[in-house]
Chain A
Amino acid sequence: MIEIKHLSKTFSLKGRTVDAVRDVSLTVQDGDIYGVIGYSGAGKSTLVRCLNLLETPDSGTLTVNDSGLITVENGKIYHGENKQPMKEKQLNAMRRHIGMIFQHFNLLDRSTVFENVAYPLKYSGMSRAEISARVMEMLQLVDLTEKRDAYPSQLSGGQKQRVAIARALASHPKVLLSDEATSALDPDATESILALLRSLNEKLGLTIIMITHEMAVIKSICRHVAVMEDGRVVEEGSVYDIFAHPKQNITKHFVASASALNRVDKLLRDDSPLVRVNEGELLVRLLFSRDSVGDSVISRISRDFGVSISIVLASVEVLEGAPLGGMVAVLKGDEESVKSALDWLNKHHVEVEVLRRG
């Protein structure tokens, strides 16, 4: 389990102070894929660098798996319940248990794929044969065994990131920090890296923390997500809930960027003819959660209540393996039947939001 409590970090840049992380508390369960999303400058990179103490927080406590309690006060790092100052050696040992991958891969250009993956293993007391076996095992895991003698400059972006993943996991860490690992990749490579991370999560029980500014990445592999803005976590929860019920404006923005369901907001803003309603009509947004997707609710209300429905926009997302459907439609009928239709929908786990009344 990863637990952060009251973590803060302030940078001073040319006399100006920037609160990169403000009093952030988070818990990530073992085996979770936890997303941290935010615009650039929101503090997500700093937050994740505090986890392996690449960045020293100003204050706060953190525990990463069996690292023991780490307390930071005034930028000094203490270890254990009785707060012993943490030595450089202990820090380095702790970092070996936390893998990290980066947006620009950060491979050694003058080393082969093999040597890059062997990097964390060398000088760790392993024999050459053991290192070689482990490296080949890792290359097999990321499906790059035939590239063992290639140099990074001979690889594609996706392949480079695979090497970086193999390198990050070579020393058996239980946690992988991913800092915008797919942001420099094309859509195909992004897809394949995300699929690889998902399979590593399942195969190795790896806990993954994904930093990204793309909601599509969160949607595709994360189970939980924290939304950061101005150094704070403004919203947190399961990806399904966040997509179904975004509360903060920034969250709504991110959700809208990755899901067709919220595109209607833009249509409304632009006053598109699609969303104009006539006298007596009602523009509604219907949200079908996992309990109601699949029921034939639409045909039910038009048949049983005599309400006619014309669909403006509809889509189904699959999040955490569960469907989340949404629809924007114009309802038409006499006031009484529309009202009872809406009541009926509510009872059947369909959330109704009236967007416009004609």
Chain B
Amino acid sequence: MDELLKQWIPNVMAYKSRFLTSLSQTGQMTLRSGLIAFVIGLALGVILTVCKKDGIRPNAVLYRIIDMIVNLFRSIPFIILLIFLIPFTRLLVGTAIGVKGALVPLVFGCVPFYTRQVEAALASVDSGKVEAARSMGSGTLGIIFRVYLHEAVPDLVRATTITAISLIGLTTMAGAVGAGGIGSFAINYGQNQNHQDIVNVCVIILLVFVSLLQFLGNLLSRRTTNRGLFRRGNEK
């Protein structure tokens, strides 16, 4: 097996440990920034939905502020955002390089996109359901958790999948601030040293990652449509 791989992808095998480090860096960046972005994006999406003009707690000022910030960061290309945020990143986490330094721009690059996705998912919840919940005496928090987030789960799963995939794309650019990862591996060891097999393997690995993610997302989204996230059979 080892022999065969050495024959097919000699350069990848030559830089095997670097290759594995890159994979782990990409994984770390995706997971850690994804987790933070998930929480922040979800929160901002909920706030936008709730504070909308015909939302359950209209608040024009808060809405406009978040709306503006989201639009602002969405319009900055990520590679520019990376370097633009360097001073801020240093202030926040003490360093602007490496995986740690890449987390801040990754979150900033991902949150606006995810916020919009969440907002769209929550907007698809029928306003009649919200009205019914209000008529039953549910307060703002009750409606957010028991109606909006509860009913939108399949759409939120889809939104999260799309965002996670685009986040993997963003992490490949994080090499620009020395965060490593599969992107910088492909450029530094593949493209720059003219090792096509390295580039090819990177593409295949990413393809597998993304397909797997999409498959899981689709599965989960289908499974959560019109039923509980996890079947509970103990209420009999």
Chain A residues proximal to chain B, CB less than 8 Å: 52, 54, 88-89, 92-96, 98-100, 102, 104, 106-112, 114, 119-120, 122-123, 132, 151-153, 164, 167-168, 171, 177
B151 touches A92 (CB 8 A): no
B136 touches A171 (CB 8 A): yes
Closest 7 A/B residue pairs (Cβ)? A96-B137, A106-B132, A100-B135, A106-B128, A92-B137, A120-B136, A95-B137
Interface residues of B in 93-151 (CB under 8 A from A): 126, 128-129, 131-139, 142, 146-147, 150-151
Using A104-B128, A114-B235, A132-B235 as known contacts, say yes or no to A109 and B226 having CB atoms under 8 A apart. yes
Asked if B153 is at the interface (CB within 8 A of a chain A CB), the reply is: yes
Q: Would you list 30 pairs from A and B whose C-beta atoms are within 8 A, ordered by A residue? A: A52-B135, A92-B138, A92-B139, A94-B137, A95-B134, A95-B136, A96-B136, A98-B135, A99-B135, A100-B132, A100-B135, A100-B136, A102-B132, A106-B126, A106-B129, A106-B132, A107-B129, A108-B129, A108-B147, A108-B151, A110-B153, A110-B227, A111-B228, A112-B228, A119-B133, A119-B136, A132-B235, A151-B226, A153-B226, A171-B136
CA distance A152 to B132 in the complex (A): 15
Residues in chain A near residue B129, CB distance under 8 A: 106-108
Closest chain B residue, CB of each to CB of A151: B226
Select which of B133, B138, B139, B226 is within 8 A of A110 by beta carbon. B226
Chain B residues proximal to chain A, CB less than 8 Å: 126, 128-129, 131-139, 142, 146-147, 150-151, 153, 224-228, 235
Residues in chain A near residue B150, CB distance under 8 A: 108, 110-111
A106 touches B131 (CB 8 A): yes
Distance (Å) between the CB of A11 and the closest chain B CB? 11
Select which of A94, A109, A151, A153 is within 8 A of B151 by beta carbon. A109
Residues in chain B near residue A164, CB distance under 8 A: 132
A110 touches B126 (CB 8 A): no
For the A-B complex with A88-B139, A120-B137, A177-B135 known, give 16 more contacts whose Cβ atoms are closer than 8 Å. A92-B137, A95-B135, A95-B137, A96-B136, A96-B137, A102-B128, A104-B128, A106-B131, A108-B147, A110-B225, A110-B226, A110-B228, A111-B150, A111-B228, A112-B228, A151-B227
Residues in chain A near residue B134, CB distance under 8 A: 54, 95
